[in-house]
Every structure is written in C-alpha cells, then in structure tokens.
C-alpha cells in the first residue's frame, strides 16, 4: 500500500488515516501527544506503512512532523519515501556533536530522520540517555514526532522507546495479527509502564478500518 494518502488521497483508506489523525489529536486535550511510538505485535503487520501515511496526514493538516525510523533491525521508511538510510538516528547517538540529518520529503511540513547505520545492540542504544536528549532537540524543530519501532513481542526495543514517549499506538492487522500476540504486546507495555494510547485496525472492511480504539 505504501503512501496511499499521496497516490489516492480521496480513497476511503486515506480518509481513514485522516480520522486516525483526528482521533489522536483529540485523545487528550489537556496533555496533547507530541511524541508517539507506532509498532505492531509481530512482523509484517503494516506498521511502517501505517506510520508513514499517518505522518503524511499530520503534515497535511498543518503540523510540522518529524518521522523517525527507530526500527534499527529492519528499517523501511527511507525506502517508502525514496530517501537515504544514512546518516540518520544512530549517527546522532554515536557521534558527539553530529548535526540532525533531517531529510525533506515530498510532503510540506514532513521530515524524515532515517535509521542511520544499523547497530549490533539496538535496545541498548534506544535506552541510552542520549536518546532523551535527541528527542528534546527534535521537539524544538517540530509539533509532533512519530517513531517507527520494531514489533513488540519480538524484541524489547518498542517498550524501551515507548517509555521515553508520550504513548504507543499498536497496529493490528486483521489478516495477520493473532489475538494472543496482540494481548501479549499490550501486557508487555503494561508491565513496562508504557502508556498505550490505543490500537488501529488495518486490512479490515472499509467501515471499520484504521479509526482505532482509545483507552
């Protein structure tokens, strides 16, 4: 599917992404979400396509948006936007004084911080104090930061990163995600005291897809 919000902006799926954007915007008016991790329970469930299209709609809605590829095992966002993988997020962590290597996308208000060089220890890197500093610096440059993280039940990366963000959005694929895997992912975040703002359903009938539920 990739960037359907650009290739077919009038489609029901694109409208569903705009609905998801609106739902997230009104999730908590007292404490608006500025940093959001998007992940899935398992692999190949569409999280990267979902976060990319969500980012497009947020930027189109007038919010300066930075999309960060924190899937340091199987990064995909640079391919989706046809941009470079390096330098990127990991270079900022590992290189003192490194500039923020943001790349402009074809969408106004939307910038990509790609993964950068893939490290041998992604979870350790994501849990470092340097990441907190990077998030703070990115917030000075944008209205919202979206982080693409690896599947929750496969590795600890998404829980580690989720603890540093305002919340986590879980992508559920109606054709692939197993119920027990989704429940396990939710339990992982609860045990890590990570705020799950909700879930969004993809690959579902058009009248029920992507809108999501919120707790």
Contact 54, 17 (CB under 8 A): yes
Residues sharing a CB contact under 8 Å with residue 135, sequence separation 6 or more, in sequence order: 35, 145, 164, 165
List per-residue pLDDT tens for the chain, 215 residues long: 589 999 999 999 999 999 999 999 887 656 789 999 999 999 999 999 999 999 999 999 999 999 999 999 999 999 999 999 999 999 999 987 668 999 999 999 999 999 999 999 999 999 999 999 999 999 999 999 999 999 999 899 999 999 999 999 999 999 899 999 999 999 999 999 999 999 999 887 665 555 554 43
In the β-sheet with 144-148, what is the strand arrangement from edge to edge? 103-104, 110-113, 65-69, 144-148, 35-40, 167-173, 196-202, 213-214
Dihedral pair phi/psi, residue 172, rounded to 5°: -115, 120
Strand 196-202 relative to strand 167-173: parallel, antiparallel, unpaired?
parallel
Domains of the chain listed by start with CATH number: 12-214 (3.40.50.300)
């Amino acid at each position: 599917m990739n960037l359907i919000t650009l290739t077919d902006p009038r489609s029901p799926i694109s409208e569903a992404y705009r609905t998801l954007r609106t739902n997230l915007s009104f999730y908590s008016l007292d404490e608006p979400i500025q940093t959001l991790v998007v992940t899935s329970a398992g692999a190949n469930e569409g999280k990267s396509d979902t976060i990319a299209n969500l980012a497009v709609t947020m930027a189109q809605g007038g919010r300066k948006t930075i999309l960060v590829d924190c899937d340091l095992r199987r990064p995909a966002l640079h391919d989706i936007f046809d941009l470079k993988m390096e330098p990127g997020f990991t270079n900022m962590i590992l290189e003192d004084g490194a500039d923020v290597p943001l790349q402009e996308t074809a969408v106004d208000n939307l910038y990509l911080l790609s993964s950068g060089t893939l490290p041998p220890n992604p979870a350790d890197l994501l849990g470092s104090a340097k990441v907190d500093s990077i998030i703070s610096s990115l917030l000075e440059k944008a209205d919202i930061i979206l982080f693409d993280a690896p599947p929750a039940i496969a590795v600890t990366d998404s829980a580690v990163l989720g603890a540093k963000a305002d919340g986590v959005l879980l992508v559920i694929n109606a054709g692939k995600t197993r119920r027990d895997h989704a429940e396990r992912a939710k339990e992982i975040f609860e045990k890590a005291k990570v705020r799950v703002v909700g879930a969004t359903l993809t690959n579902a009938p058009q009248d029920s897809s992507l809108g999501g539920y919120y707790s």
